[in-house]
Amino acid sequence: METKETQTENNGTPYPDIPAVMESKDSEYHDPGIISTVAIAGHPIHPILVTLPITMLLLLAGSDIAYYFTRDDFWARASIWLVGLGLVTAIAAAITGMSDFLRIKRVRKRTAGWAHMYINITILGLTAVNYVLRLGNPAGGILPVGIILSVIVAGLLGISGWYGGELVYRHKVSAIGPSSRKV
């Protein structure tokens, strides 16, 4: 792998270029970025919305673990609310994210864009299954499958967030500033 110094000498981008994980492109590093297709007053909506399902689904893993150790029905009731709210808010975040994915060419040209989308679709699917398992019997849906799904989703959220960060900070997607969506 190239060092920071040799990478900077090659294309001016002060990041390692690790194919299929991190793709660095000098023109993207120096341009002002591409604005989001779903924004209010120039501020992208997707980064605002994703905070809600991330919070709900991480708390879900925590409440499922608390139920595992205590067997207190309070945690089961908290979990059914968290998985339901996590699913609803994830759908809202997915709609805005998919709009950017479909309408911004740069996102579709990057491994990070595809990975972010596929991981989030997986998260949505696993969360929907987790919700359905708990309907009618919140405590019965936690052990063993619900807690496993919750922990898997929590891990996937971290990976997906990393790829989302790659899109924003490395490829300057949904950056605020003048740009052309043709890039």
Cα distances (Å, whole numbers) of residue 22 to 19, 158, 168: 6, 16, 12
Residue 24's Cβ-count burial label (10 Å; 0-12, 13-18, 19+) is: buried
pLDDT score for 6: 44
Model pLDDT, residue 104 = 92
Amino acid type, 167: L
The answer to whether 157 touches 54, Cβ cutoff 8 Å, is yes
Q: Where in the sequence is the domain holding 160, given as residue range(s)?
A: 42-170
Structural domain includes residue 108: yes
8 assigned to some structural domain = no
Residue 5: predicted pLDDT = 45
The Cα–Cα gap between 140 and 79 comes to 11
Burial status of residue 171 (CB atoms within 10 A of its CB: 0-12, 13-18, 19 or more): buried
Instruction: Please give the tally of structural domains in the chain.
Output: 1
**11 occurs within a structural domain:** no
Instruction: Write out residues in the chain with pLDDT < 70, as ranges.
Output: 1-22, 24-30, 176-183
Cβ distance 122 to 116 under 8 Å?
A: no
In a domain, 181, yes or no: no
Residue 134 placed within a domain? yes
DSSP 161-173: HHHHHIIIIIS-B
- Tell me the pairing of strands 43-44 and 39-40: antiparallel
Supply the pTM of this predicted model. 0.83
Structure confidence at residue 175 (pLDDT): 73
Is there a domain that residue 57 lies in? yes
